[in-house]
């Protein structure tokens, strides 16, 4: 069985040029697609605030992305990316506890980011998060949910990410409202960490046409 890969999630402020023509990001995606260890390359736009652009890359290992970033011509890639993004808010790498493709390939993908409070015990939080993830995974397929997972952010061990796929926002709202056990568990987790949830529509990239 192959090791679970790392997922790069970069949140950026999109330029007006990108919002007018998303294809301007293709030269950057071409470079990343051809990089050793890049298993899947995509970009995404935030549903509730489309000024935010995401790069979502699945890497065979974290080292593969670091190797790309250490290349002498990496500055040229960053310059090309500057036509699509005016600034980057964060760059996270996460090795989830399960394969990430089901959630990433869903019609709608939910990115949850938990940042532990200063006095929160990491192990206690993780146990509750595992329960929440198992509860979501246990929802029937006909409910419109796509299996996801959780993982620790490589750049900050006191941050956790969850990914879940959904059929659409209406189904997400309906399932969440009806799942009282899940919402109670979320409230328990919120007593231990700050939660930031974003929903994005991911466009998988397969190369310039």
Last residue of a domain, one of 97, 132, 159: 97
How many Cα atoms within 13 Å fall on the side-chain side of residue 150?
19
Statement to judge: residues 130 and 93 lie in one domain: no
**Residues 56-66: b if buried by 16+ CB within 10 A, e if exposed:** bbbbeebebbe
Last residue of a domain, one of 97, 131, 154: 97
Judge whether 182 lies within some domain: yes
Residue carrying structure tokens 């065979």: 60
Summarised one tens digit per residue, pLDDT across range 149-169 is: 999 999 999 999 999 999 999
What is the total residue count of the chain?
209
How many Cα atoms within 13 Å fall on the side-chain side of residue 176?
11
Residue 3, pLDDT score: 85
**Residues 177-202: b if buried by 16+ CB within 10 A, e if exposed:** eebeebeebbeebeebbeeeebbbbb
For residue 165 the two structure tokens come to 């796929």
Statement to judge: residues 196 and 107 lie in one domain: yes
Nearest-angstrom CA–CA distance, 189 and 125: 7
Q: Which residues of the chain have pLDDT under 50?
A: none
Residue 1, pLDDT score: 56
Summarised one tens digit per residue, pLDDT across range 83-121 is: 999 999 999 999 999 999 999 999 999 999 999 999 999
For residue 134 the two structure tokens come to 């198992």
Judge whether 1 lies within some domain: no
Residue 208, pLDDT score: 64
Statement to judge: residues 90 and 115 lie in one domain: no
Q: What is the pTM of this model?
A: 0.95
Residue 156, pLDDT score: 98
How many Cα atoms within 13 Å fall on the side-chain side of residue 84?
24
């Amino acid at each position: 069985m192959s090791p679970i890969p790392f997922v790069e999630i970069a949140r950026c402020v999109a330029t007006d040029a990108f919002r007018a023509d998303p294809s301007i990001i293709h030269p950057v995606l071409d470079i990343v697609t051809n990089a050793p260890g890049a298993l899947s390359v995509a970009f995404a736009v935030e549903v509730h605030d489309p000024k935010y652009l995401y790069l979502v890359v699945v890497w065979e290992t974290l080292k593969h992305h670091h190797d790309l970033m250490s290349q002498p011509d990496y500055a040229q890639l960053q310059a090309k990316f500057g036509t699509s993004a005016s600034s980057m808010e964060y760059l996270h790498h996460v090795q989830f506890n399960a394969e990430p493709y089901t959630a990433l390939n869903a019609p709608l993908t939910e990115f949850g980011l938990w940042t532990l409070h200063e006095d929160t015990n990491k192990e206690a939080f993780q146990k509750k998060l595992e329960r929440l993830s198992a509860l979501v995974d246990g929802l029937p397929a006909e409910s419109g949910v796509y299996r996801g997972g959780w993982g620790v952010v490589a750049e900050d061990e006191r941050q956790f990410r969850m990914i879940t796929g959904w059929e659409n926002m209406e189904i997400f709202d309906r399932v969440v409202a009806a799942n009282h056990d899940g919402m109670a568990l979320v409230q328990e987790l919120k007593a231990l960490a700050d939660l930031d949830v974003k929903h994005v529509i991911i466009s998988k990239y397969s190369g310039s046409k």
